[in-house]
Amino acid sequence: MIIAGRGIARGVGSGELLVSTAPISFLSGVDPETGIIVEKGHPLCGMSVAGKVLAFPHGKGSTVGSYILYALSRNGHAPAAIVNEEAEPIIATGAIIGKIPMIDRIGLPVTRLKNGTSATVDGGAGTLAYDGELLPCI
């Protein structure tokens, strides 16, 4: 299925979906050397974003989060792509400078997407190609 959204950062990225019910802070929330989420209490704590299509509602935290996304990209541990319900400047800037394809405004909560499903984000076209069924609303 193709889900239309708004393109934020150009490029195409594919991988397994990693879906978060909670916002993500890249500053102090994600280790830029490993790509592992380290924020205590976060639903994805201990999981790696590297090579994943990372779907989360929106970012949170400091503007330094943009640099962390860039560092993840430089270190080879960035997400393959990012999907947000609503992009905000910190994540959008990080995706652009890190060359991480990104879209938002897909018309449904990211929690309707199933973890582990194969997905491709085309940031230029503003689309998410999703190989699974949508989960029920929670």
Burial environment of residue 37 by CB neighbours within 10 A (0 to 12, 13 to 18, 19 or more): buried
Q: Residue 87: which residues within 8 A CB-CB, separation 6 or more?
A: 6, 8, 58, 102, 104, 105
Could you confirm whether 20 is annotated as catalytic?
no
SS3 34: coil
How far is it, in rounded angstroms, from Cα 126 to Cα 106? 9
Catalytic residue among 28, 62, 66, 73: 62
Residue labelled with tokens 């934020």: 8
Residues labelled as active-site residues: 62
